[in-house]
Amino acid sequence: RPGYTARAIVGNERADAVGFDLAMVEVLPTADEARVVGHLGPDPLAADWDAAEAARRVGADSRPVHVALLDQRNVAGLGNVYANEVLFVRGILPTTPGTDVDAPALIDTAARMIRTNRDRSRRVFTGDARPGRGMWVYGREAKPCRRCGTLVRGGALGARPTAERNVFWCPVCQR
Ligand SMILES: [Zn+2]
């Protein structure tokens, strides 16, 4: 990724992790860590990943499922690109209440997407890693759906008016 998109580099003697295009960075002493991450839900990249618990939390959340997926108390690590792409792949409208979706299937797909993309420099959801081909709907408002040709729609959803995120969906493929 271009260096100018890097926002933070966190490293130790074994590895460096670069955060690109980060919306928010908070630096704090280790002793205060629990205050920030103590509430996190199951993490698909953690050794103790609990898919059933993540599905239970998302499936019990009556807010729009796009909002439920981004709430890190339900499942940790899913960003806005993942929420948009996994909802397309599962054929779910972003406004559908979390209580009305097949949460175990949704969480299973999301976890597989995160693991598949973990070691790639660029996230790919379509299976086509060529530049500009990797996303189904994210950032593709008014472009033809890659599956059915209908124009992709764009909007915003959020838990609060100050926390709205860009949402993209195909009105035919996602019901
Ligand atoms: Zn479509």
- State in Å: Cα 155 to ligand 1 middle: 16
pLDDT at 76 over 90: yes
Mean of pLDDT over the chain? 93
When pLDDT is averaged across residues 70-99 and rounded to a whole number, the result is 96
How many A from CA of 21 to the centre of ligand 1?
Answer: 28
Please tell me the predicted confidence (pLDDT) of residue 35.
80
The CATH classification of domain 42-169, taken from the options 3.20.20.100, 3.30.2310.20, 3.60.150.10, 1.10.8.50 = 1.10.8.50
pLDDT at 36 over 80: no
User: Does residue 15 come out as left (phi exceeding 0), alpha (psi in the -120 to 50 range) or beta?
Assistant: beta
pLDDT of residue 143: 98
| Domain coordinates in residue numbering, the chain | 42-169
153 vs 121, more confident:
153
Q: How confident is the model at residue 166 (pLDDT cuts 50, 70, 90)?
A: very high
pLDDT at residue 121, rounded to an integer: 81
Task: Give 13's Cβ-side CA count (13 Å radius).
Answer: 0
In this prediction, residue 65 carries a pLDDT of 97
Cβ atoms < 10 Å from Cβ of 3: 7
Residue-level pLDDT at 28: 86
Tell how far the Cα of 4 is from the centroid of ligand 1, in angstroms.
34
Look at residues 68, 78, 64 and name the one whose alpha carbon lies nearest to residue 112: 78
Decide: helix, strand or coil at residue 65. helix
Q: Quote the ligand 1 centre to 144 CA distance (angstroms).
A: 8
Collect residues with CB below 5 Å from ion ligand 1: 145, 147-148, 150, 170, 172-173
- Give 43 Cα–ligand 1 centroid separation in angstroms: 30
